[in-house]
Amino acid sequence: MRETALVRNGKTLLSGIDPVHRAERTADAVSVKDRTLYFCPSPLYGYGLERLLERIETEAPNSAVLCVEAEGELYELSEKNIPPSLAANKKFRITNICGGEGLCAFIRETWGARAFRRVETVRFTGGWQLYPELYDSLCEDIRREIAVDWSNALTLTKLGRLYIRNALRNLSLVPRFPSISNFSFGEASVLVLGAGPSLDETLDALASRFKEKLSVPESRAFKIICVDTCLGALKERNITPDLAVILESQHWNLRDFIGCRGWEVPAAFDLSALPESAEILGGEGFLFMTPWTPLRIFERLKTAGLLPAVIPPLGSVGLSAVEIARRVSRGKIICAGLDFSFTQDKYHAGGTPGHREKLNAHTRLHGIMNAAAFNPASIAAESKSGFSVRTNPAMQNYRDLFEREFAGDPRLFDIEGSGLPLGIKTLSLDEALSLLEKRGIFTAELHREEKPDLLTEKVQAFVDGEKKRLNELRDILTSEAAAYQRLSVLIDECDYLWAHFPDYSGGRRPPMGEIASGGQKSLSFLKRLRSEIDPMLKLLGRVNNL
């Protein structure tokens, strides 16, 4: 077996000349940094790993080593020959998981979320030569996952307090807005519209082909789901969507509804979205929930029967619209305007708020060129139609997430244009419109599970329970008696008070032993926790009065 491991497929995997010292010299040459995951492809006998882990223990205590072996026989070789003391080290793991998603999940389960800030590849053997592209791809998947996790943590730090405040205020909508899971378009095909530059061509073709049918949803053979940003573009062309998806939690999103007040368009509304957005369109409302981070209050909402359908956090309202389309229709789903790219003169389609602002500011001295196209972060990319467009890393991440989430669904199609390829079948504009025409007309179905009066009582009972919990926590924090056991329970149950703290985001609050010892760090946490209680109680008091 040892000879097999040294040479495989004509490639030398392990040097026959002092391989142990060669590996140890490699370990000594590694630039050891804290909060780093060292990715070691094909470790074979594990030479050099002990030396690297010794350095990590002393120089980078929050780093770790992950070995991956894609070859079955070589994985068995490694498991038999790597010393038990090394295998028992909590900073070391070896696996044969060769899928990016599964490997990232393995890392989270082993070391927790956001345990690392970077990933570095260390090659102790030549085994990586058997599957070089696979190992490079896995390393890149881990690197991307780390970047996304930290980006999400920054978003939580900035907006986490706003999310929970919006969600609690929006509880008053639950008796009137049923969950989106109760709504259905049946077998109807759905056209999902994003606000990218390519949307203009699609809308012009729709207006030319379907004409007056576009203003009367009941008269056409397909349904339209749009993101809120493109409502203005549809209104300009007298196209009435069947459902608008509203996700944004901040006030600047209100500009998406300029000229659309009282349009009576049904809306799918995220529980953490800006409450003022819920009433503008004046149509029916449906709720869904995007859990921005794991919180105990979500479990209590579910137990109370108040949690609407849960949509996974996808980061982009366009991706959320596609996921909602998959849930409310059993027919074909055609995407348009989900570009994740832009051109030199357009970031969004005409009629959207950003494009209107550009036109309004246009003078002889101020052009309408898209400044984002000339930003240092902007990069060139090839569209699905083969010509050059501009994009940026954030948009590329959304495109990659789209492919990971939806590429396996055969019902999904995309329309050719200036957008990035999404990993699903691309149709010409004429093919897409013909496909939409083939479907029959299906009436939207709505099934209400509970009466509004009963839901109102449930909301009031839930809010009263939260107020009682917060009052008890405040009493403990302001009393001289230290009820540490109950304090620990309440800190966990009221995690929405501190989940956005930069040093504790994502559920990593100080351990109770540290709090009981009265250290400066835990004291700072408790003071900040106390400052969050009164504003939250005031907000809950307003919810009960709605």
* 156 vs 521 pLDDT, higher one: 156
Separation between Cα atoms, residue 238 and residue 224, nearest integer Å:
13
Q: Which residues contact 519 (CB under 8 A, 6 or more apart)?
A: none
Give the pLDDT band (50/70/90) at residue 359: confident
Confidence tier at 370 by pLDDT (50, 70, 90): low
Residue 4 scores a pLDDT above 60? no
Q: How many Å apart are CA 267 and CA 180, to the nearest integer?
A: 10
* Domain spans in the chain, listed from the N-terminal domain onward: 2-150, 174-446, 452-544
Tokens of 288: 């869904």
pLDDT band (50, 70, 90) for residue 96 = very high
Q: What residue ranges in 331-397 does DSSP mark as E strands?
A: 333-336, 379-382, 388-391
Q: What is the model's pLDDT at position 317? A: 95
Q: What is the pLDDT of residue 2?
A: 41
- pLDDT 10s digits, 278-303: 989 999 999 999 998 889 999 999 99
Write down the pLDDT at residue 440.
Answer: 54
Residue 7: pLDDT over 70? no
Which of 321, 342, 341 has the alpha carbon at shortest distance from 333? 321
DSSP string, 212-255: GGGG-GGGSSEEEEEEGGGHHHHHHTT---SEEEE---SGGGGG
Q: Which residues contact 289 (CB under 8 A, 6 or more apart)?
A: 167, 270, 271, 272, 298, 307, 308, 309, 310, 311
How high is the pLDDT of residue 371? Answer: 67
Going by C-alpha positions, the residue among 268, 273, 199 that lies closest to residue 236 is 199
Tokens representing 119 are 């990933």
Q: Is the pLDDT of residue 373 over 80?
A: no
The answer to whether the beta carbons of residues 401 and 319 sit under 8 Å apart is: yes
Q: CB-based contacts of 84: which residues, under 8 Å, 6+ apart?
A: none
Handedness of CA 427, 431, 434, 440 (dihedral sign): negative
Which tokens belong to 278?
Answer: 């819920």
Q: Which two tokens stand for residue 346?
A: 């357009």
Greatest distance between any 2 Cα atoms in the chain: 80
Average pLDDT over every residue of 451-476: 93
Spatial contact of 293 and 506, defined as CB atoms under 8 Å apart: yes
114-125 average pLDDT score: 93
Select 2-150's CATH number: 1.10.150, 3.90.320, 3.40.50, 2.20.25. 3.40.50
Percent of the chain predicted with pLDDT > 90:
64
CB 266 within 8 A of CB 217: no
* The pLDDT of residue 518 is above 80: no
How many angstroms separate the CA atoms of 232 and 241, rounded?
Answer: 11
At residue 342's C-alpha, the angle toward residues 341 and 343, to 5°, is 140
Are 340 and 399 within 8 A, CB to CB? yes
Two tokens, residue 118? 């970077």
Amino acid at 257: F
Predicted local distance difference test score (pLDDT) of residue 17: 79
Q: Which residue has the higher pLDDT, 200 or 344?
A: 200
State the number of CA atoms in the 13 A half-sphere of 283 facing the CB.
17
**Which pLDDT value is given to residue 189?**
94
Query: CA-CA distance, 102 to 118, in Å (whole number)?
Result: 18
| Tokens, residue 471 | 């009052």
In eight-state DSSP terms, residue 310 is E
| pLDDT at position 138 | 95
Tell me whether residue 82 is exposed, middle or buried, using C-beta atoms within 10 angstroms of its C-beta: 0 to 12, 13 to 18, 19 or more: buried
Segment 137-150 shows an average pLDDT of 89
Q: In this predicted model, what pLDDT tens digit does every residue of 405-422 receive, in sequence order?
A: 999 999 999 999 999 999
- At residue 155, what are phi and psi to the nearest 5 degrees? -65, -40
State the pLDDT at residue 1: 36
- Look at residue 256 and tell me whether its pLDDT is greater than 80: yes
Please name every residue paired with 39 in a beta bridge, in sequence order, or none if there are none: 66, 121
Low-confidence winner among 114-118, 255-259, 511-515 (lowest mean pLDDT): 511-515
What integer pLDDT is reported at residue 41 of this predicted model? 96
SS3 411: coil
Share of the chain above pLDDT 70, in %: 93
* Structure confidence at residue 444 (pLDDT): 63
Which of 181-190, 300-309, 370-379, 532-541 shows the lowest per-residue confidence on average (mean pLDDT)? 370-379
* pLDDT > 60? residue 123: yes
**Which amino acid, 468?**
K
* Reported confidence tier of residue 535, pLDDT bands at 50, 70, 90: very high
Instruction: List, for residues 77-92, the tens digit of each pLDDT value.
Output: 999 999 888 888 999 9
At residue 454, the pLDDT reads: 87
Express each pLDDT in 337-351 by its tens digit: 999 998 877 778 888
417: left (phi over 0), alpha (psi -120 to 50) or beta: left
The type of residue at 68 is V
